[in-house]
Amino acid sequence: MMDWTDRHCRAFHRVLSRRALLYTEMVTANAVIFGDRERLLGFSPAEHTLAVQLGGSDPAALAKAAAICAEWGYDEINLNVGCPSDRVQGGNFGACLMRDPALVAACVAAMKAAVALPVTVKCRIGVDEQDPEIALDALADGVLAAGADALIVHARKAWLEGLSPKENRDIPPLDYDRVHRLKARLPGVPVSLNGGIATLEAATAQLAHVDGVMLGRAAYQQPELLLRVDSLFFREQDPHADAFAAVVAFEPYVAAHLATGGRLHDITRHMLGLFTGRPGARAYRRHLATEGVKPEAGLDVLRAAVDEVRRAEERRALVA
Ligand SMILES: Cc1cc2nc3c(=O)[nH]c(=O)nc-3n(C[C@H](O)[C@H](O)[C@H](O)COP(=O)(O)O)c2cc1C
């Protein structure tokens, strides 16, 4: 998620689930080709299985960018056909490409020819005045004929005229049934659903209709829910008994970042949502927000923040 997630966030989420497929935020094809690749594409091996999401609409540039990402070791290339921001529309990519399935198909075909990795597409059900029954099928059929390996559908329209990107994530109504119908029509194609899924119970209910569920904001804002993903969806043991154990397991990553001159806050800003809803969560966040941002902040600050939750839970246990 642009401006929210980065490699540190993914490294943290990987500690919480070994099996969830992680995605980068969107990176434009031109940024990959001309930009600072270490900053844009660098990741730690622990983050696998990891998809990179590309933005663009020039098949040749996307093919080149996909080949570069394959060299960097990504496991999947995903094309963004869902982002509604002005910045993105100006470049003719993101959600406005829902209007041009043939161009998206050409992009997918070019990327497929350039890499041996799965190439997937994330799209909306339509934009503006489009009829989702027609628009989604047209996009899906085009990219599948071009070789796309899977689809992820954000189950609402994007209104490119008049709504901000943030409003476009909340205001157009969710239409899960439309995604279910797509999957029913394409039984052999992996289809994942995205949009408004806030709990693992809601994700489980969706899996009766689709093959996968993508969590955006909920995973970022309440990462603790990822701790049960492996047992619920992959029938494997969860990596950690609780969030306390997960933080301890994450400490070596944090220490390594600090040792190279990185700031604690680079990482802990992605951890503020941990412990949400528990006693002490506010004190935890406050400690990280005040002490964690100091240039000299170290692991002790993270530990002290976590202790706020531990102490609050102990107090509650004593009262009970
Ligand atoms: C801050 C922010 C940045 C986002 N950036 C991206 C992005 O780079 N690529 C993308 O496909 N979706 C992006 N999204 C959209 C989410 O991936 C997701 O489709 C949307 O939030 C709906 O799912 P959710 O209700 O689970 O969050 C972003 C969302 C937010 C809140």
Angle between helices 101-114 and 59-72 (to 10 degrees): 40
199, 232, 265 — which closes off a domain? 232
Reported as half-sphere exposure (CB side, CA atoms, 13 A), residue 195 has a value of 29
Rounded-to-integer distance, Cα 55 and Cα 165, Å: 16
216 marked ligand binding residue: yes
Task: Give the CA diameter of the chain.
Answer: 65
Evaluate whether residue 68 is within a structural domain.
yes
Tell me which residue has its CA closest to atom 5 in ligand 1. Answer: 1
Long-range contacts of 36-39 (CB under 8 A, 24+ apart): 37/68, 37/72
144 with 215, same domain? yes
Q: Which residue among the candidates 9, 83, 96, 107 is catalytic per the annotation?
A: 83
Choosing from 2, 123, 124, 167 the residue with most ligand 1 atoms within 8 A of its CB, the one to mutate for a pocket test is: 2
Evaluate whether residue 237 is within a structural domain.
no
Structural domain including 146 reads 7-232
Evaluate whether residue 238 is within a structural domain.
no
205 with 261, same domain? no
Evaluate whether residue 295 is within a structural domain.
yes
> If you measure from the C-alpha of residue 310 to the centroid of ligand 1, how many angstroms do you get, rounded to a whole number?
32
User: Where are the extended beta strands (E) located within the chain?
Assistant: 22-28, 50-55, 76-81, 119-124, 150-154, 191-194, 212-214
Could you tell me if the CB of 218 is within 6 A of ligand 1? yes
152 with 211, same domain? yes
Evaluate whether residue 16 is within a structural domain.
yes
Whichever domain contains 71, its CATH number is 3.20.20.70
Rounded-to-integer distance, Cα 100 and Cα 218, Å: 31
The reported pTM is 0.96
123 is catalytic: no
Q: Which residue has the tokens 């692991």?
A: 299
196 marked ligand binding residue: yes
Could you tell me if the CB of 76 is within 6 A of ligand 1? no
232, 259, 292 — which closes off a domain? 232
163 with 280, same domain? no
Rounded-to-integer distance, Cα 268 and Cα 12, Å: 9
Could you tell me if the CB of 222 is within 6 A of ligand 1? no
CB within 8 Å of 35: residues ≥ 6 apart: none
Could you tell me if the CB of 198 is within 6 A of ligand 1? no
- Ligand 1, closest atom to CA 194? 23
136 with 266, same domain? no
CB within 8 Å of 113: residues ≥ 6 apart: 63
Evaluate whether residue 270 is within a structural domain.
yes
Could you tell me if the CB of 68 is within 6 A of ligand 1? no
Query: What pLDDT digit, counting tens, does each position of 231-245 carry?
Result: 999 999 999 999 999
| 77 DSSP β-pair partners | 52, 119
Per-residue b or e along 10-19, where b marks 16 or more CB atoms closer than 10 Å to that residue's CB: bbbbbbbbbb
Q: 2: closest CA among 99, 69, 110, 87?
A: 87
Evaluate whether residue 1 is within a structural domain.
no
Cis peptide bond prior to 120, omega within 30° of 0: no
157 with 289, same domain? no
Tell me which residue has its CA closest to atom 31 in ligand 1. Answer: 217
Choosing from 217, 222, 226 the residue with most ligand 1 atoms within 8 A of its CB, the one to mutate for a pocket test is: 217
From residue 308, alpha-carbon distances to 99, 254, 282 in Å are 51, 19, 9
Evaluate whether residue 2 is within a structural domain.
no
Residue pair 121/108 in contact (Cβ under 8 Å)? The answer is yes
> If you measure from the C-alpha of residue 65 to the centroid of ligand 1, how many angstroms do you get, rounded to a whole number?
21
83 with 174, same domain? yes
204 with 271, same domain? no
User: C-alpha angle with apex 67: 74 to 60, nearest 5 degrees?
Assistant: 135
User: What's at 315, amino acid-wise?
Assistant: R
Residue 119 tokens, joined? 């190439």
266 with 219, same domain? no
Question: How many domains, the chain?
Answer: 2
- Report, in angstroms and rounded to the nearest whole number, the Rg of the chain calculated over CA atoms: 20
Whichever domain contains 289, its CATH number is 1.20.120
247 with 227, same domain? no
Tens-digit pLDDT string for the chain (320 aa): 999 999 999 999 999 999 999 999 999 999 999 999 999 999 999 999 999 999 999 999 999 999 999 999 999 999 999 998 766 656 678 999 999 999 999 999 999 999 999 999 999 999 999 999 999 999 999 999 999 999 999 999 999 988 988 999 999 999 999 999 999 999 999 999 999 999 999 999 999 999 999 999 999 999 999 999 999 999 999 999 999 999 999 999 999 999 999 999 999 999 999 999 999 999 999 999 999 999 999 999 999 999 999 999 999 888 87
40 with 172, same domain? yes
181, 213, 232 — which closes off a domain? 232
Residue pair 9/25 in contact (Cβ under 8 Å)? The answer is no
179 with 295, same domain? no
